[in-house]
Amino acid sequence: MPVQDVRRTLRERSTYLADGDLTETLQWFRTNSNFERVVTKAAATQYEADVTAYRNDPTILPSAPESPPPAVLSAIVRLKREDYRLLPCADWKPGFTFATLRPSATAEDPNIPAIDGDFDVGWANLRRLIESKFPGQPNEISKSTGIIDWTGGAQPHHLQGFKISHRLFEAKSKYAQSADANAGAVESQDGGAEGAQPETIEFDIEGWGPLRRDGAQEELAKLKDTHVVVPIPAYDLAGAIIEPKEYETKLRGAIVRLEFYVNAWQIKGKNVFTGDIKKIRVLAPPKKRAEPDTPTTKRKRVPREDSFTAGLEEGMPGPSRTRRRGN
């Protein structure tokens, strides 16, 4: 599918990151004291109207209105080769738990002429959206990290890209079986019709991997009775789900269609913004890295004499034979 068609579909089904000023159509919505998410202003307005109506007459709805759903943001990006951690074990190290593991990657400009400029505009929109959470509070912005990092001292720049991530393990007590809980095994070419129920696939903690560090398997086994695996919802060129063992070979450096949510957390005095992956679809596979040159085959036998000067007598340039005149 041509990239312009992909972009048009994203615009129809989500909030395309490079369209207009996102702060005009999106807003932050607080669900508790430590968590906020980005929702559409239309959904927030409808929620407020439903709450008012329910308070006036609780019989009009079967239950209290639910919070507005998160807004789906989208972009066409390349998953940067550097700082790539979308792996079954992410950057896990001994001494840490798998329960809060978040594989991540950096989204950067795909450098596609047909959509030139989209990434720069989208990144600026994302920055404004985050800054809108703290209007007139530069100190709060300076403590913000995650999807865009302000904590390094220098002002962030679109060339740095933005960070996306996915939580791999969820507690069984909070887990609800849904279309998003386990990624679909196959995605249709156009992204799937709304309301369609795709074939799904599940992964078990016991067989999850590959895990690259010593001790990882033992640590992961601790979650067997308390957590479930929620695989990265990533699909290859053909629309088939990407297996954990292929997360790196098929995604690192690939150009992808990205759909994600933006959330904000208060963690230990820092403002942590996450770009939570909803779905990834490969549009162009990673470029193969140049192979090292094959060493020249060495010969068992070598010439007895050096032929470098051969031919000088046949007219090739050589030392001047002009005789110097005496004084």
How high is the pLDDT of residue 155? 81
270 phi and psi angles, rounded to 5 deg: -110, 150
Whole-prediction pTM value? 0.81
* 315: in domain: no
Q: How far is CA 136 from the centre of its chain?
A: 30
Give the mean pLDDT of 172-187.
59
* 323: in domain: no
* 313: in domain: no
* 62: in domain: yes
Residue 257 region, left (φ>0) first, then alpha (ψ -120 to 50), else beta?
beta
Of 18-32, 142-156, 273-287, minimum mean pLDDT range: 142-156
Exposure string over 110-139, b if 16+ CB within 10 A, otherwise e: bebeebeebbebbbebbbebbbebbeeeee
**Highest mean pLDDT pick, 42-46, 98-102, 226-230, 308-312:** 42-46
* 320: in domain: no
* 305: in domain: no
The model's pLDDT over 30-88, given as tens digits with 9 standing for 90+, comes to: 998 889 999 999 999 999 999 999 999 999 888 899 999 999 999 999 999 999 999 99
Domain, as residue range, for 124 = 3-284
The model's pLDDT over 279-323, given as tens digits with 9 standing for 90+, comes to: 999 999 998 866 555 555 555 566 666 665 555 555 555 554 445
E strand or H helix that includes residue 325: none
The model's pLDDT over 249-288, given as tens digits with 9 standing for 90+, comes to: 999 999 999 999 999 998 887 889 999 999 999 999 998 8
Find tokens 């990006």 and name the residue.
77
Over 49-62, what HEC string results?
A: HHHHHHHHCHHHCC
Task: Tell me which DSSP letter residue 326 carries.
Answer: P
Name the domain count of the chain: 1
